[in-house]
Structure 1
């Protein structure tokens, strides 16, 4: 047996012994009629932040604070400790003269991780730290397991995601990320609400998985005896509301896609979609860049952020380039000079482009998109709108004015990653049905992410939908950029994980 294996066994034994000791402490408390789990409420008067910010008026006055005990340096007849609450930490000072011998002994028995309520007077130490001089205390909850950073540490990166509650206890920067995430979403709502958008909720369970090219999760409704899908996008229901006269709507919520898991993808994720009647994709570009800049200003105080060592400037206006021009710039292939599908297939073969279906089934538009993904995406570091996507891959989008090979669609890219998708929305029910039929053919060719037919949505368009601009933004990816987080798991409180044995 290696020394490393011996050390692991010894560490495990010590860890188990600590658990045994903590449980015994709980049993002793319960036998003495001091069960901490019998405490239902505590009248906390101040948070750690309030004590520190209002020191001048609280000096020498009594307060009650509460939180998790995170350090304890009590030896002999006095000592210091720290408790942490939502807002940070507050230092405590205990002395035998103030609480008596028995209470000091009880306090010394507390373990790191226990929740306690502290009553005492506010003062400053000689080093100037605002603290609470303990006059009384109460154990609120017993921590029966040591925090892992003291023993096993957080060596396994999966542990941070599997036990997020521990990650949040130990790492202030992780807590800051999620408080910042909340502030980002709040600022997003403020921006839209001030512009008279209405926030709505649409179904998560639906008989049709529509609004995006993605593989859905399938479930079964017992009472109706039908299969249903977890939504992959909110688009088609929101556009029904445009038909119904809402004119400006948005929804922030979870979408679900039965796809792989990596640093950019989680099977459930948060997105915002918004739709505005009498607008087009140019208006959606302005909304996107101005909304992100507004969020940056509110949350960060600047439109310039550093992401993985690179400065990203979100100041409007963002760069704009067509897909054809991007491919020409980064691959030296000009699709304006390619006139047939066969010519496009030949150039794809020559450049060894990876395609999602057999070459013979690919159109010029399919191949243009594949060129863009191969040669261009990773080049788009600063915020950039890539415009005018091929009609074949944009079934819900109006055709480009003046060039019907393309559509009025853009995607926003930052640091080589797609962050948003927007259209001048297709509102012609006859053309929309033709596009759905073509998507059904794509499904027959093996594309299980192609769109399904949605007859009720066609019916809504036949009632009449005005010209509309629509936009979807991946909130998780935006939060990643604004918090310098390299993985989507770092901005999801509880990311999807493979179960442990």
Structure 2
């Protein structure tokens, strides 16, 4: 909506939604007129705040040099107190005109909450018992022109929080903790795989043919090559080319892009981990999944028992394996194990799920699962044995070629991954790609393209393999107790504001 506070916040040259006040600008000019550098250079520190708090008994009386943001200030004539926060924590500053000198103490009058300062002095404990830095030298490092939200109410407008994440992080330490845990999860995931012999690799982001998942891609154009390219929807087909080339354990953590809807569990740009194991299968990858998630829960949450949404989830392996068709039967009462396509379509309609005319049993099972079952699964549980129609890259199950050896892990109603025994039959893969291309020609924008080079790679020969993809963002949501994907992305995608940085119209 034009004219909202959020839009005003982001339009340059206009008042901030947080309320830029003219007094700060006046203070800046006053400081400059007195020769004070209001945007200083480097300021080497002797300690982090947390170190002083943790080692107070050892460091008491030591001279220390800190830097950080002023989060509160209290003045009582010739004596003042302030809260200084750096990345590691908050400490009280104790300032006395008698100790600092009138000129130096005079700087204090032109400082505001939000300013970034350097402070030098002795580590003490005040009469009230609070660990403090008794300051004798104070330096302004950055003058803040936009006031922070009121400390009692914080930044409550959710959209402003996402658009101005930098402010959200300043005033909400609990938000910063979510992203610290996200980093621990990514680091732990890498360590887990490397310790098991997996090699981290990097594959292209720009693809001449999008593949590896059924998804609508973003399209771009390369001027020098005069070629249309796509932001990758998955790294899968490139990682499997590496198995053909002789690597046996590979993984990649990186961004994927899907030009689809936005929801509490979907963002157009998201992070995934994909790994592949030569001579493995779906069962090997399920074991890897449950072990990895359990280890990450211990490292990040301190236990394999994770509280989320009022429930406690036990992530201790092994997790149950439940065939998709059985999950449908248990949840809906619709038993399609021996149904004909006509019977399957009729039974689906009876429970309110309409499917296209001519839909196969596999398609009906998949539709029923997605629309009636998936978000009810608390888990942790692996849904296994998927229809071949919705799994164009997975190996058929021995003895039941209409089903594939594929799985998805579910927890708290969310699918957090996807994996399978990989299809290594080049002729079968080519046939499935052709069916995908036919579906695309009929208007299915999420169907995969025919990738001739990948088929040729399979013709060269790929060993039997298991593959796994984990949705990092959803796993982070679960392990940090967040219910929206935007709360685990530092800068989530939002609808652009109407006049943001719009170039001037030609005269």
Instruction: Give TM class, smaller chain.
Output: over 0.9
Could you tell which deviates more after superposition, 469-478 or 441-450?
A: 441-450
Q: Distance in 1 between matches of 2:417 and 2:244?
A: 23
**Shift of the alpha carbon at 1:348?**
2.3
User: 1:433-453 CA deviation, whole Å, 9 max, x = no partner?
Assistant: 000001111112221101101
Q: Please say if 1:176 is aligned against 2:180.
A: no
**Shift of the alpha carbon at 1:149?**
3.6
Q: Distance in 2 between matches of 1:272 and 1:16?
A: 38
Q: Distance in 2 between matches of 1:291 and 1:254?
A: 20
More helix by share: 1
**Shift of the alpha carbon at 1:352?**
2.4
User: 1:65-92 CA deviation, whole Å, 9 max, x = no partner?
Assistant: 0000000012211121111110110111
Q: Which residue of 1 aligns with 2:267?
A: 266
Change (3 A) 1:152 1:172: closer
Contact 2:148–2:167 (Cα < 8 Å) also in 1: yes
Q: Distance in 2 between matches of 1:246 and 1:436?
A: 25
Residue correspondences, number: 486
- Give SS of 1:36's match: coil
Pairing of 1:195-214 with structure 2 (within 5 A): 195-214=196-215
Could you tell which deviates more after superposition, 19-28 or 216-225?
A: 19-28
Could you tell which deviates more after superposition, 125-134 or 408-417?
A: 125-134
Q: Which residue of 2 aligns with 1:388?
A: 385
Q: Distance in 1 between matches of 2:288 and 2:16?
A: 57
Q: Distance in 2 between matches of 1:92 and 1:32?
A: 24
- Give SS of 1:186's match: helix
Q: Which residue of 2 aligns with 1:54?
A: 55
Contact 2:154–2:172 (Cα < 8 Å) also in 1: no
**Shift of the alpha carbon at 1:333?**
1.6
- Give SS of 2:337's match: helix
Contact 1:66–1:117 (Cα < 8 Å) also in 2: yes
Q: Which residue of 1 aligns with 2:404?
A: 407
Q: Which residue of 2 aligns with 1:243?
A: 244
Q: Which residue of 1 aligns with 2:31?
A: 29
Could you tell which deviates more after superposition, 393-402 or 19-28?
A: 19-28
Pairing of 1:354-433 with structure 2 (within 5 A): 354-355=354-355, 359-433=356-430
Change (3 A) 1:18 1:373: closer
After superposition, the CA RMSD in angstroms is 1.8
Q: Distance in 2 between matches of 1:152 and 1:35?
A: 32
Q: Distance in 2 between matches of 1:220 and 1:381?
A: 43
Pairing of 1:88-107 with structure 2 (within 5 A): 88-107=89-108
Change (3 A) 1:144 1:374: same
Contact 2:16–2:146 (Cα < 8 Å) also in 1: no
User: 1:268-303 CA deviation, whole Å, 9 max, x = no partner?
Assistant: 000000000000000000000000011111122101
**Shift of the alpha carbon at 1:198?**
0.3
Pairing of 1:24-423 with structure 2 (within 5 A): 24-37=26-39, 39-149=40-150, 154-338=155-339, 340-355=340-355, 359-423=356-420
Contact 1:260–1:267 (Cα < 8 Å) also in 2: yes
Q: What residue ranges of structure 2 are gaps of 5+ in the alignment? A: 6-13, 499-507
- Per the normalisation by structure 1, the TM-score is 0.94
- Give SS of 1:177's match: helix
- Give SS of 2:81's match: strand
Moved over 4 A (4+): 12-18, 150-153
Contact 2:331–2:372 (Cα < 8 Å) also in 1: yes
Q: What residue ranges of structure 1 are gaps of 5+ in the alignment? A: 6-11
**Shift of the alpha carbon at 1:16?**
9.2
- Per the normalisation by structure 2, the TM-score is 0.93
Q: Distance in 1 between matches of 2:315 and 2:152?
A: 42
Q: Distance in 2 between matches of 1:14 and 1:316?
A: 51
Contact 2:396–2:404 (Cα < 8 Å) also in 1: yes
- Give SS of 2:266's match: coil
**Shift of the alpha carbon at 1:14?**
12
- Give SS of 2:118's match: strand
